Amino acid sequence: MSSAALQRPADRQWLTLTLVLVSNSLPVAGVVVLGWRAAEILVLYWIEVVVMVAAYSVAALFAKQPVVLKDREFYIVGYGRREEIDEDNWSGEPEPMDRLKSVFPDAVESRLPPVYRRNFPVVGRSLAVVLFLAILWGYLTNTLSNPVTALRSPTVILGSLLVCTSQLAELRREYFVPRTYEDWSAYMTVEAAQRVVAFYIMLAIVVVPVTIIGLLVLGLILDLVFGGLVIPDAAGGASGLDLSVFAPVVVFSAGKAVVDWSRRAVGIRTDADGLAGWFTPENPHLREWEQERR
């Protein structure tokens, strides 16, 4: 193999690492440099989740394989362990929707894979996750001073565009370019996004309370040791940083960066191991070479 051929994967690894570091250090930089508060940070993450769910939902319409629910460990929103599917609907070759492609220009239409009619109900049911996102937005509205103002901030908009561009580039590179949609079902495609969202939620539930409790304990220890030492505001010191925002953002961003790096370095493959393996959907439609490896 030529040195140029070996250099290309190495270059992609560095590009992937750079994108991960930039996208995940953005919230930290926003707090330190731009003075972002909880409103800006949560709105940024909320936009990232919305774009991920929407992008993978659209991508699921192109998935070719039938849905198989038997013996799954992860069930997407709208489906359960006792769910039964219509075998007649998922047997045989899928029916493409030619009318939908006819609305695009010829240059775009020639590059698009077929959209399959039977995938729409799967995507429609999975979009019940939108209810969760709406509840989350309502929570932000009630608990934060003004998330709408944060949404209008030019820096938040720019940060959201950078994060969303990274998400869409990953979807293109891992799903459309290698034609993963030919080996996945609509269920699997939606599952790939919902696994990541579920992990983000679990990480946030653990990180934020533990970090804030840790700050309170640290404050008590410092008070006992130094006695009467006054730390301005939320332990921000002379820099004026609000540690109740900064510390959870740093910890959450670090955990998210590790996850993003493991996912993007390995790719959305069904044979991935370790941490990255949890973020790849269960695929009952294994390729022959994957079956041989197992």
pLDDT exceeds cutoff 60 at 287: no
Of the two residues 242 and 188, the one the predictor is more confident about is: 188
Of the two residues 146 and 46, the one the predictor is more confident about is: 46
pLDDT exceeds cutoff 90 at 2: no
In a domain, 71, yes or no: yes
Confidence of residue 68 (pLDDT cuts 50, 70, 90): confident
Determine what percent of the chain is predicted with pLDDT higher than 90.
6
pLDDT exceeds cutoff 60 at 270: no
pLDDT exceeds cutoff 90 at 158: no
pLDDT value at residue 125: 85
In a domain, 93, yes or no: yes
Domain of 252 in residue numbering reads as: 10-293
In a domain, 225, yes or no: yes
pLDDT value at residue 57: 92
Lowest mean pLDDT: which of 19-33, 134-148, 165-179, 247-261? Answer: 134-148
- Taking residues 86-111, report their average pLDDT: 70
pLDDT value at residue 127: 82
In a domain, 166, yes or no: yes
pLDDT exceeds cutoff 80 at 240: no
pLDDT exceeds cutoff 60 at 6: no
In a domain, 40, yes or no: yes
- Taking residues 162-167, report their average pLDDT: 82
- Taking residues 240-256, report their average pLDDT: 79
Confidence of residue 61 (pLDDT cuts 50, 70, 90): very high
| DSSP for the chain, written as a single string | --HHHHHHHHHHHHHHHHHHHHHHHHHHHHHHHS---HHHHHHHHHHHHHHHHHHHHHHHTT--BPP--TT-S---TT--TT----HHHHSSS--B-HHHHTTS-HHHHTTSPPPBTTHHHHHHHHTTHHHHHHHHHHHHHHHSS-HHHHHH-HHHHHHHHHHHHHHHHHHIIIIITTTGGGT-BHHHHHHHHHHHHHHHHHHHHHHHHHHHHHHHHHHHHHHHHHSS----TTTTGGGT--HHHHHHHHHHHHHHHHHHHHHHHH-S-TT--HHHHHTSPP-SS--HHHHHH-
Of the two residues 266 and 206, the one the predictor is more confident about is: 206
In a domain, 4, yes or no: no
Which of the residue ranges 130-139, 172-181, 264-273 has the most confident prediction, judged by mean pLDDT? 172-181
pLDDT value at residue 56: 92
Give the count of domains, the chain. 1
In a domain, 2, yes or no: no
